[in-house]
């Protein structure tokens, strides 16, 4: 069988599997779902029986005209109406509880699962696309569960019971009436086949649109400074047009539902009327029964209308659910081994032995890395952009697993321990400080569960944060907005340093921690960093070599390999890559360079 022939079958199976998984979330409250189903059946039977009694009333009026009998029927109809109202209300009320619980569980599950995924997953997914999945795709399921799901269920019940009632009334009239159902179903199936692929494309295009809008809004300063407002608007308009076209194709089914159902209704009523009048003339059918039969024809077309009209919601929700389940099915690349133990408190002795690593299989970015860092040692990392400096940090923290070799912390292979127990002992200060929309105090406590207010105050004072924090409107209870937009860049960085102090790490990572601040603020931050580094094995990534000049050991990385290592004077004496980088950065600063040369000469003389 060709791929073209099997593709529709595969899509149908995929939708069926997705529907089954989605329904499992509804089955989390089986009892309430079953109760709502029973209530809908009772309410629908009560409603249909009212139409049957209307036929009796018509028979009475056309024959005996017994008013007392009509009064009795009217009382019964009033009771049935109340029963219908109560049962349908409670049925839909319980369905709402079931669907909202299902949505809550699904939202929680996808968010919690994403917290467990490795960085490699996020490397492959644009944030805008991920946001589209957890917002737009969840919205499609929410739109189905809000009303269409209950209406579809109730309509299916009404359709079945109406046909049963019609067959009970007259098998012949029922047979000729329902002939329109398969004809209508064929039309809908053809239209659904055309519109179904467009729902998938619609969700993809919405993801693209979200990605562009998020990227543009985040980089609005760059957009404005480069005068790209018009170009950005044109790009958004083009993708938005694609979204609109996909939406038109996706909703083509709903445009035909109303006229199709009206046509089917008129045809059904016409057929029943023709046969019914003939049976009435032959005396095998009463006028009341004919009236009820015509009424039932209208009633089974009505649920068909709701079922087909809500079909778009089902298709859209299944596409969205499929995209969400793709995330839930994603497995983290970095996993703890079965029976992995916690890493005990460490001194900070780190050893890289023949480490090789690839972000993409077959494209090695770390090649046979070997170095040792003893407890309390300050390690500097430098090299050209893209050389692999951050890679060393990424694999030390086990954000990614290495291809081969070993990384030992106090003699323990980090591949054999739990990830959380390793990261709990590593403090991180990034180039771009990350703060959350919460109070200053809670942002500080983010580093360690159980951190006390006194510990946070002490860390803030040690990192030179206390003074500016106390000038905030509510001090430590001030809520930071939009990642700390109400603070300067330097203040945000000092807060992250204080937060790292609260973590009480034995290993520390400083990733270009002073690259985005002015010279004066850099000195303040460097002072806070020196306090943070006391008694801690630290790794500092830097492009400005002045920030790592005093390191105990400097690792010079180029093209994924550690090409040089030693302290500043040793590396300068080698006159290799580090020497060239240093000389290019200090070109024109003769005094500092001469001081370095004198120090190197003195060190060389002492060694001889």
Per-residue confidence band for 31, with pLDDT thresholds at 50, 70 and 90: very high
pLDDT in tens, 144-193: 888 889 999 998 998 889 888 888 888 888 887 777 777 777 777 776 66
**CB neighbourhood size of 47 (10 A):** 20
**Highest mean pLDDT range out of 179-188, 236-245, 470-479, 481-490?**
470-479
Within 10 angstroms of residue 381's Cβ, the number of other Cβ atoms is 26
CA atoms within a 13 Å half-sphere pointing along the CA-CB vector of 6: 3
Give the three-state DSSP class for 574. Answer: helix
Average pLDDT value for residue range 265-282: 80
pLDDT of residue 6: 41
What's residue 42's pLDDT?
A: 95
DSSP state of 251: T
Mean pLDDT of 375-401: 90
User: Which residue, of 289, 304, 329, is where some domain finishes?
Assistant: 329
What pLDDT, on the 0 to 100 scale, is given for residue 371?
93
Provide the number of structural domains found in the chain: 2
Would residue 75 count as lying in a domain?
yes
Domain boundary among 295, 329, 363: 329
Q: Which of 329, 357, 383 is the last residue of a domain?
A: 329
For residue 607, name the pLDDT band (cuts at 50, 70, 90).
Answer: very low
- If you average pLDDT over residues 44-50, what whole number do you get? 89
Q: What is the pLDDT of residues 487-536, one digit of tens each?
A: 888 888 888 888 888 888 889 988 876 666 666 777 787 888 888 888 89
Is the pLDDT reported for residue 10 higher than 70?
no
Quick one: angle between helices 229-250 and 252-281, nearest 10? Answer: 20
Asked whether residue 299 carries a pLDDT value surpassing 90, the answer given is no
d(CA 27, CA 25) in angstroms, rounded, equals 5
Q: What pLDDT, on the 0 to 100 scale, is given for residue 82?
A: 94
26 confidence band (pLDDT: 50, 70, 90): very high
Q: What is the mean pLDDT of residues 462-490?
A: 86
Inter-residue contact 472 to 440 (CB < 8 Å): yes
pLDDT at 89 (0 to 100)? 94
Given a cut of 80, whether residue 48 has pLDDT beyond it is yes
Encode pLDDT of 90-144 as tens digits: 999 999 999 999 999 998 998 889 888 888 888 777 776 777 778 878 888 988 8
539 closest CA partner among 408, 412, 398, 426: 426
Residues 305, 308, 309, 310, Cα dihedral to 10°: 120
C-alpha atoms less than 13 angstroms from C-alpha of 228 in its C-beta half-sphere: 12
Q: Choose from 17-26, 162-171, 198-207, 508-517 the range with maximum mean pLDDT.
A: 17-26
Supply the mean pLDDT for the chain: 82
- Please give the pLDDT value at position 66: 66
Within a domain: residue 286?
yes
Q: Does residue 466 belong to any structural domain of this protein? A: no
The encoded tokens of residue 266 equal 């008129």
Q: Tell me the C-alpha distance between 482 and 491, whole Å.
A: 14
Residue with the larger pLDDT of the pair 176 and 565: 565
Half-sphere exposure (CA, 13 Å, Cβ side) for 76?
Answer: 16
Question: Cα separation of 250 and 228, whole Å?
Answer: 33
Q: What percent helix, strand, coil does the chain show, rounded to 5?
A: 70, 10, 20
Provide mean pLDDT across the span 51-55: 81
CATH of the domain at 306: 1.20.1560.10
Is 560 within a domain? no
Q: 221's torsion region: left (phi>0), alpha (psi -120 to 50) or beta?
A: alpha
Alpha helix stretches (DSSP H) within 310-417: 311-329, 389-396
The pLDDT, as a whole number, for residue 608 is 43
Residue owning tokens 């040089």: 564
pLDDT tier at 212 (50, 70, 90 boundaries)? Answer: confident
State residue 83's pLDDT score: 94
Residue 247 lies in a domain: yes
Q: pLDDT band for 8, please (50, 70, 90 cuts).
A: very low
Q: Is the pLDDT of residue 335 over 70?
A: yes
What digits encode the pLDDT tens for the residues 214-225? 667 666 666 666
**What range defines the domain where residue 576 resides?**
567-608
Residue 296 lies in a domain: yes
At 7 the pLDDT is 42
pLDDT at 428: 85
C-alpha span between 570 and 206 (Å, rounded): 56
The pLDDT value given to residue 599: 55
- Over residues 446-461, the mean pLDDT reads 88
Q: What is the pTM of this model?
A: 0.73
Give, in order, the Cα–Cα distances in Å from 109 to each of 15, 95, 117, 317, 327.
Answer: 20, 21, 12, 17, 10
Tokens in use for 468?
């500016």
Share of the chain above pLDDT 90, in %: 28
* Res. 360: pLDDT tops 60: yes
Better-predicted residue by pLDDT, 276 or 113:
113
Say what the pLDDT of residue 556 is. Answer: 93
Residue 596 confidence (pLDDT) = 56
Residues 539-557: b if buried by 16+ CB within 10 A, e if exposed: bbbbeebebbbebbbbbbb
* Max mean pLDDT range (64-73, 128-137, 358-367): 358-367
Least confident of 302-311, 372-381, 442-451, 562-571: 302-311
- The predicted model gives 308-318 an average pLDDT of 81
Q: Report yes or no on 477 lying in a domain.
A: no
Is residue 1 over pLDDT 50?
A: no
Does residue 465 lie in a domain region? no
Locate the DSSP E strands across 452-514. Answer: 507-511
CA distance 488 to 67: 86
Q: What torsion, rounded to 10 degrees, do the Cα atoms 444, 450, 453, 459 define?
A: -50
Cα separation values, 391 from 333, 367, 432, 565, Å? 16, 11, 17, 17
Q: At 476, is the pLDDT very low, low, confident or very high (cuts 50, 70, 90)? A: very high
């Amino acid at each position: 069988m060709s791929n073209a022939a099997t593709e529709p079958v595969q899509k149908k199976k995929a939708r069926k599997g997705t529907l089954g998984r989605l329904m499992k979330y509804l089955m989390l409250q089986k009892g309430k779902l079953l109760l709502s189903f029973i209530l809908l059946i009772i309410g629908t039977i009560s409603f249909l029986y009212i139409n049957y009694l209307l036929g009796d009333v018509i028979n009475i009026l056309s024959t005996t005209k017994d008013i007392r009998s009509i009064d009795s029927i009217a009382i019964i109809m009033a009771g049935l109406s109340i029963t219908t109202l109560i049962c349908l209300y409670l049925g839909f009320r319980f369905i709402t509880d079931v669907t909202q619980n299902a949505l809550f569980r699904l939202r929680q599950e996808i968010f919690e699962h994403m917290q467990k995924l490795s960085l490699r997953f996020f490397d492959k997914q644009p944030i805008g696309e991920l946001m589209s999945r957890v917002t737009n795709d969840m919205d499609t399921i929410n739109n189905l569960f809000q009303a269409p799901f209950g209406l579809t269920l109730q309509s299916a019940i009404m359709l079945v019971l109406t046909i049963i009632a019609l067959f009970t009334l007259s098998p012949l009239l029922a047979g000729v009436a329902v002939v329109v159902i398969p004809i209508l179903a064929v039309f809908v199936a053809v239209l659904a086949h055309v519109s179904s692929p467009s729902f998938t494309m619609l969700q993809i295009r919405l993801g693209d649109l979200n990605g562009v809008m998020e990227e543009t809004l985040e980089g609005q300063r760059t957009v404005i400074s480069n005068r790209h407002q018009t170009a950005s608007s044109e790009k958004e308009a083009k993708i938005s047009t694609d979204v609109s076209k996909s939406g038109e194709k996706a909703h083509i089914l709903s445009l035909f539902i109303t006229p199709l159902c009206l046509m089917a209704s008129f045809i059904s009523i016409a057929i029943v009327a023709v046969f019914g009048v003939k049976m009435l003339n032959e005396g095998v059918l009463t006028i009341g029964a004919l009236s009820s039969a015509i009424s039932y024809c209208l009633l089974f077309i009505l649920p068909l209308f709701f079922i087909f009209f809500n079909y778009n919601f089902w298709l859209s929700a299944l596409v969205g659910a499929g995209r969400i389940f793709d995330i839930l099915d994603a497995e983290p690349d970095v996993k703890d081994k079965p029976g992995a133990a916690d890493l005990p408190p460490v001194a900070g002795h780190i050893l890289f032995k023949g480490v090789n690593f690839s972000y993409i299989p077959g494209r090695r970015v770390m090649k046979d890395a070997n170095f040792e860092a003893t407890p309390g040692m300050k390690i500097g990392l430098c090299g050209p952009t893209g050389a692999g400096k951050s890679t060393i940090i990424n694999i030390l923290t086990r954000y990614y697993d290495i291809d081969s070799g070993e990384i030992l912390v106090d003699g323990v292979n980090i591949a054999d321990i739990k990830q959380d127990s390793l990261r709990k002992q590593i403090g991180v200060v990034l180039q771009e400080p990350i703060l959350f929309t919460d109070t200053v105090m809670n942002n500080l406590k983010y580093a360690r569960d159980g951190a006390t207010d006194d510990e946070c105050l002490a860390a803030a004072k040690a990192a030179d944060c206390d003074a500016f924090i106390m000038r905030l409107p509510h001090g430590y209870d001030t809520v930071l907005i939009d990642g700390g937009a109400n603070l300067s860049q330097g203040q945000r960085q000092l807060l992250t340093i204080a937060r790292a102090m609260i973590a009480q790490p034995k290993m520390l990572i400083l990733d270009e921690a002073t690259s985005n601040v002015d010279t004066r603020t850099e000195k303040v931050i460097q002072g806070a960093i020196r306090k943070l580094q006391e008694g801690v094995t630290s790794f500092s990534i830097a492009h400005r070599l002045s920030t790592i000049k005093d390191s105990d050991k400097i690792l010079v990385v180029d093209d994924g390999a550690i090409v040089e290592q030693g302290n500043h004077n040793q590396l300068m004496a080698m006159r290799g890559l580090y020497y060239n980088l240093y000389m290019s950065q200090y070109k024109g600063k003769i005094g500092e360079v001469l001081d370095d040369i004198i120090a190197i000469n003195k060190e060389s003389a002492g060694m001889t």
